[in-house]
């Protein structure tokens, strides 16, 4: 299974308080038809924080079933509680995920040694390929390149990282220090192309929920050496990238998918609908960029 290119951090459609299985399967199918390289259910964008363990297992299972091995599935299974992360990883493994995405424990703010021990415990109790997820804007903790490099060397199950700092100097230091073959995905849609240019492998993307073809084509163009085309797509995506963050993710992207008729725009508290003035701005941007 190849982990490179554009992976979508999937939203989770809800209806009547539960996962909307039909909308979810249709969204996954559309993503694959549009050429996406991989799928990531139950991440931040998928509102995993407000899902029960049973629902997370269900969402991952649906995604794996619908993907039918056509693209890899990296399942969100992280927690700030190591035992809970082990449990969620076991669920992902049973569901048939190819790897899991493991957020650095939030709120606790573990030391570098604590991070290492967290991943060692995960590997010991639920061995499968893991991607570390470094997103200090969500966790209050910025895992430094030397820490991630140490984890990569000492925990063979950790095969890559989703880097969401948006800091290219940090990303460059990370790639420099990590072992050969360590996979670095951008978790920041604004900097996917610059990250590719310094040795990154692709993106785990929010905007690809609504523009999977564009994100996939940009990554493919860069890999093929067509940097002019990649740059052209990068600038085509930038207005959409900005629109996806006019309020907290996943509010704008899920609202966009609702406007596209892909799902019912439904959130779980404490996530609430987009402010009316932002909804109007979002609709105009989507129209201007041919999304709706």
Q: Which pLDDT tens digits describe the chain residue by residue (292 residues)? A: 789 999 999 999 999 999 999 999 999 999 999 999 999 999 999 999 999 999 999 999 999 999 999 999 999 999 999 999 999 999 999 999 999 999 999 999 999 999 999 999 999 999 999 999 999 999 999 999 999 999 999 999 999 999 999 999 999 999 999 999 999 999 999 999 999 999 999 999 999 999 999 999 999 999 999 999 999 999 999 999 999 999 999 999 999 999 999 999 999 999 999 999 999 999 999 999 999 9
Tell me the C-alpha distance between 34 and 26, whole Å.
Answer: 12
Which of these is catalytic: 24, 61, 162, 222?
Answer: 162
Query: Are residues 205 and 43 in contact, defined by beta-carbon separation less than 8 angstroms?
Result: no
Q: Which of 189, 206, 205 is nearest to 251 (CA)?
A: 206
The predicted structure's pLDDT at residue 1: 76
Q: Please, which residues have CB within 8 angstroms of residue 102's CB and are 6 or more apart in sequence?
A: 77, 78, 85, 89, 119, 122, 130, 131, 132, 133
Q: Which residue has the tokens 């991630």?
A: 148
Annotation says 61 is catalytic: no
Tell me the C-alpha distance between 255 and 123, whole Å.
Answer: 37
Annotation says 15 is catalytic: no
DSSP-derived letter for residue 227 is H
Which of these is catalytic: 87, 133, 222, 262?
Answer: 133
Q: Which of 130, 81, 124 is nearest to 101 (CA)?
A: 130
Q: How many helices (H) and strands (E) does the chain have?
A: 12, 10
Burial class of 254 by CB neighbour count within 10 A (0 to 12, 13 to 18, 19+): buried
């Amino acid at each position: 299974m190849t982990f490179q290119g554009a992976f979508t951090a999937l939203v989770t459609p809800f209806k009547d308080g539960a996962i909307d299985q039909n909308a979810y399967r249709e969204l996954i199918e559309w993503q694959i038809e549009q050429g996406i390289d991989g799928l990531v259910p139950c991440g931040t964008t998928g509102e995993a924080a407000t899902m029960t363990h049973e629902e997370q297992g269900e969402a991952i299972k649906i995604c794996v079933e619908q993907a039918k091995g056509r693209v890899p599935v990296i399942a969100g299974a992280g927690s700030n509680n190591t035992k809970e992360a082990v449990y969620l990883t076991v669920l992902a493994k049973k569901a048939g995920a190819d790897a899991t995405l493991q957020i650095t424990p939030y709120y606790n703010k573990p030391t570098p040694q604590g991070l290492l021990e967290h991943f060692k415990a995960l590997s010991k109790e639920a061995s499968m390929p893991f991607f570390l997820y470094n997103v200090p804007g969500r966790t209050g903790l910025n895992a430094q390149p030397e820490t991630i490099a140490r984890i990569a060397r000492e925990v063979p199950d950790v095969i890559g990282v989703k880097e969401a700092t948006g800091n290219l100097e940090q990303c460059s230091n990370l790639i420099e220090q990590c072992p050969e073959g360590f996979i670095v995905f951008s978790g920041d849609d604004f900097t996917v192309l610059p990250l590719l240019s310094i040795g990154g492998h692709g993106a785990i993307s929010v905007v690809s929920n609504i523009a999977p073809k564009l994100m996939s084509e940009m990554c493919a163009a860069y890999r093929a050496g067509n940097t002019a085309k990649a740059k052209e797509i990068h600038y085509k995506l930038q207005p959409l990238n900005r629109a996806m963050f006019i309020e907290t993710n996943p509010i704008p992207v899920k609202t966009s998918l609702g406007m596209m008729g892909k799902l019912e725009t439904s959130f779980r508290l404490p996530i609430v609908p987009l402010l009316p003035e932002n909804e109007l701005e979002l609709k105009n941007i989507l129209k201007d960029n041919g999304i709706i």
